[in-house]
Amino acid sequence: MTNHFSLVQRYEQYVTDKTIEFDTEQWTALQHLQTLLNELHVYGEKLTRVKRWQWKSPTVTMWQGVYLHGDVGRGKSMLMAWFYEACQLQKKRRVHFHVFMQEVHLFIHEHSNQDALPLLAKHVRETTQLLCFDEFYISDIADAMLLSRLFEAFFKEGVIVVMTSNYHPDNLYPNGLQRTSLLPFIALLHEKTVLIELTGKQDYRLTKSDNSATRYFFPLTEQTEITVSQYGTQSNSTIFSFAQLCGQPKGARDYLALAEQIDSLVLTHIPQLSPEKHNEARRFITLIDVLYEYKITLVCSAEVAIDELYIDGKNKNDFERTRSRLIEMQSPHYSNHFSHEV
Ligand SMILES: Nc1ncnc2c1ncn2[C@@H]1O[C@H](COP(=O)(O)OP(=O)(O)O)[C@@H](O)[C@H]1O
Ligand SMILES: [Mg+2]
């Protein structure tokens, strides 16, 4: 349905019917996304079979992607989702970056006797002309070392990459192990993608939430447990403790598998995450990202309020997104799979 509209028209429509507020920076970002979209639609497959510089047409840009960054709640994911929906290419894929990287590492492992990256890029290009990563960040040294060669191979094959991130490219992987190994990748992003920043003062996620409604209960009293367990007995929900989901070595793939199977989740006994609990914090961030992406209704019992969950530690930046999402997930605008509130 939305495919008949341009992104710009869709934005205008939503502003008119007051679904969203007009935001100058989003508007500018949309023009860039629309340009790329038009180009993809006009040239399609051909665009990438011929080297871009061979096109004389002034309408063809030299970019191979868009990198949309800014603080949480600025509308990055929304704009990318619109772009993705409006893109009429068959060969498009939107995937969690960490899941994608697991596939990459597996491919390399299976082709360890050859130069795997160019092979992988060819393989990817056969099915994917447009690759979208929402909430891109790097937390893994193995990924950091690989990224510049990997993306160089993708760009060479003509894969278009659109991503959103809380980080400016220059600030990716802060204080990471051997961070200098990432610098060629950062340079590549600067060279090949359009960087768009959404710097608005508003966190739209927070303005949408309603403080009176909550499915996040604290502290861990008997009453809290009774309340959340009542949610847990409703037909389509699943109960897990924090220790079960985040206290053991689990990752995006496990959470995605879970999210595929449930509508709602009751997550109990979330502790305050002190700096030494950084592994638990990292998993919790990933878990909430996945649940949010799948619009899973979430009920929590926790030791402390959302704002006190993670005061300090090395995942502080990423936790900002988690905090914002936890708040939005309480709002009446967010999906609700429960038959009645407790
Ligand atoms: N201009 C706007 N006016 C009102 N709500 C908006 C606007 N832009 C985004 N939103 C809403 O704010 C929330 C957060 O947007 P999202 O795209 O998830 O932000 P980000 O990915 O930057 O963290 C979403 O529910 C989205 O629909
Ligand atoms: Mg987002």
- pLDDT higher for 235 or 159? 159
Of 21-30, 72-81, 196-205, least confident by mean pLDDT is: 196-205
Q: pLDDT value at position 60?
A: 54
Atom of ligand 1 nearest to the CA of 321: 23
Q: What is the rounded distance in angstroms from the CA atom of residue 28 to the CA atom of residue 30?
A: 5
Residue with the larger pLDDT of the pair 240 and 44: 240
Q: Which ligand is nearest to the CA of 14?
A: 1
Residues in the chain: 342
**What is the reported pLDDT for 2?**
43
Nearest CA to ligand 1 atom 14: 73
- pLDDT reported for residue 304: 93
| pLDDT tens digit sequence for 47-61 | 665 555 555 555 556
The secondary structure of 220-244 as a DSSP string is: --HHHHHHHHHHHTSTTEEEEEHHH
Q: How far apart are the first and last CA of the chain?
A: 37
CB 202 within 8 A of CB 231: no
Helix (H, G, I), strand (E, B) or coil at 86: helix
| pLDDT for 135 | 87
Kindly state if the Cβ of 206 falls inside 6 Å of ligand 1: no
Of all protein residues, whose CA lies closest to atom 11 belonging to ligand 1?
204
Ligand 1 pocket: which of 205, 327, 331 to mutate (most atoms within 8 A of CB)? 205
Higher confidence at residue 53 or residue 296? Answer: 296
Whether residue 273 contacts residue 280, with contact meaning beta carbons closer than 8 Å, is answered with yes
Q: What is the pLDDT of residue 210?
A: 54
For 92-175, list the strands marked E by DSSP. Answer: 92-94, 130-133, 160-165
Ligand 1 centre distance from Cα of residue 321 (Å): 12
Does ligand 1 come within 6 angstroms of the Cβ of 73? Answer: yes
Q: Does residue 95 have a pLDDT over 60? A: yes
Residue range 115-135: mean pLDDT, rounded:
94
Q: How far apart are CA 138 and CA 129, in angstroms?
A: 23
Give the sign of the dihedral formed by CA 91, CA 94, CA 99, CA 104.
positive
23 lines ligand 1 (CB under 6 A): yes
Domains and CATH numbers, the chain: 2-198 (3.40.50.300), 204-328 (3.40.50)
Q: Could you report the per-residue pLDDT of 246-278, keeping only the tens digit for each?
A: 999 999 999 999 999 999 999 999 999 999 999
Under the banding of pLDDT at 50, 70 and 90, the label for residue 297 is very high
- Orientation of helix 7-16 relative to helix 76-86, angle to 10°: 130
